Amino acid sequence: MSGLVKYAMVASEPFLVAYGLDLFNNALIIDIGAGTLDLCRMHGTIPAEEDQRTLVKAGNYIDSRFHMLLQEKVQDSPITLEMARRIKEKYAFVSSNKEVISVDFQVNGKPKTYDVTNELREACESVLADMIQSARDLIVGFDPEFQSVLRQNIVLAGGGSQIRGLAEEVRSNLTEFGTCRVSTVEDPVYAGAVGALNLATDMPESEWRRHATSRS
């Protein structure tokens, strides 16, 4: 970035989401990106290492899993990873609801309809176990006095937060600790970028210089 900007900072995506939403205290951000799924709890200061978790099972993992399951299901038509990704982005869900996801594939030049409900559900739910366990760890390890407040401020962000039913699935898996409130950011794709811009403009230049000096 030399020549384009004077200073640069590396910050975690969920922290930037929280910053953009003014959630500086007693909040748990779960950011589901393509390459990583990141969790961060906010408690009024810059998050430390123990406040954050990074998982490698995220959007790309779901795509690969769904692609593999589709190839096993639709054996008479070639399925590419990009085709699987487009289907996931349009229909992705985690739910016990009895909805049916039907997709047409070209077989011998003619459309043939396949029910891919179970395959899509399995792929989308493949990231849930690790995500829920990490969220539990961050809640249990939080100051007991403020755990109930933290549970009321669980926010999903990133492209993966657009999976239908995800907020309710997270909420239901965390109710063992008490009532929870799980919401999704209004702009899942750019919420982190908004936070990064706010952080960059809010920080005085003296702070940029101080951090740059301390790390040189």
Domain ranges of the chain: 13-53+147-215, 59-125
Considering only 2-16, 45-59, 74-88, 149-163, which range has the smallest mean pLDDT? 2-16
Q: How confident is the model at residue 216 (pLDDT cuts 50, 70, 90)?
A: very low
CATH superfamily for domain 59-125: ATPase, nucleotide binding domain (3.30.420.40)
Considering only 7-11, 67-71, 209-213, which range has the smallest mean pLDDT? 209-213
Region of residue 110 (phi > 0: left; psi between -120 and 50: alpha; otherwise: beta): beta
Q: Is the pLDDT of residue 45 over 60?
A: yes
Q: Is the pLDDT of residue 7 over 90?
A: no
Q: Is the pLDDT of residue 194 over 70?
A: yes
Output the pLDDT for position 214. 55
Q: Is the pLDDT of residue 212 over 70?
A: no
- Give the residue-averaged pLDDT of 134-141: 96
DSSP-assigned beta bridge partners for residue 106: 111
Considering only 13-22, 41-50, 143-152, 203-212, which range has the smallest mean pLDDT? 203-212
What is the CA angle 119-131-89, rounded to 5? 40
CA distance 191 to 213: 30
- Give the residue-averaged pLDDT of 143-170: 95
Output the pLDDT for position 192. 94
Q: What is the DSSP letter of 3?
A: T
CA distance 106 to 56: 33
If you average pLDDT over every residue of the chain, what do you get? 92
Query: Which class in CATH covers the domain with range 13-53+147-215?
Result: alpha beta
- Give the residue-averaged pLDDT of 99-118: 91
Q: Is the pLDDT of residue 2 over 60?
A: yes
Output the pLDDT for position 211. 65
Do 13-53+147-215 and 59-125 show the same overall fold? yes
Q: What is the DSSP letter of 35?
A: S
pTM surpassing 0.75? yes
- What sign does the CA torsion over 160, 161, 166, 172 have? positive
